[in-house]
Amino acid sequence: MRRRPLPYDAEAARKHLLKSDHVMRDLVKRVGPYEMEVRGKPYESLVRAILYQQLAGPAAAAIERRFLALFGDRIPTPEQLAASTDEVLRTAGVSRQKAGYLRSIGEHFERGHLSDRHLMRATDDEVIEAVTQIKGVGRWTADMLLMFCIGRPDVLPVGDLGVQSNMRAAYGLDALPKPDQMIEIAEPWRPYRSAASWYLWRRGDLVTL
């Protein structure tokens, strides 16, 4: 998927987080520049999200290659996806359950219930409400779409285990934080909670290294 410019000021986000609280300030200094990447369009991003759902990277990439090969090595149109049978999709290694999810994406776009244009212009809440009507698409997938495809600056993915675990470690919490606690901790990060979440993910990389 093609990379696009971040639709908000990355340096402004970094500077804001430096002033937000001492924990985030130290993390930003350790990680360095804010380098979020925004890629693709909503339709293709949702298709890829389903293909990669609950799979390790190499296995998902192999299935993605076989899936694309069914459609001439490109993302199928919504019409093609909606018409795809379980049997055809299973030849690419797609489970029967995921085949249903993929058809649901195709049907929503084919019927005009969703469109890339609408999702790119909708509010965050409108995007979440719209895409979670698709079978297999939950709040976490909607948050990832907002952050890494549409490029919204103020998304806090409270259901993401990486954000939860790194918030717990960074802020010295006794247990993984619940959504209400995460929202409270993240209040000073507004309107750049997407950037703060990115820095929390990068904290995990620093610890691993």
Catalytic residues: 160
Within 13 Å and on the Cβ side, how many CA atoms surround 182?
24
Cα→Cα distances 159→23, 139, 156, Å:
21, 8, 9
Q: How far apart are CA 44 and CA 52, in angstroms?
A: 12
Q: In this structure, are residues 33 and 57 in contact, taking their beta carbons and an 8 Å threshold?
A: no
38 beta partners = 4
- Gap between the Cα atoms of 162 and 198, Å rounded: 10
Angle among Cα 111, 114, 116 to the nearest 5 degrees reads 125
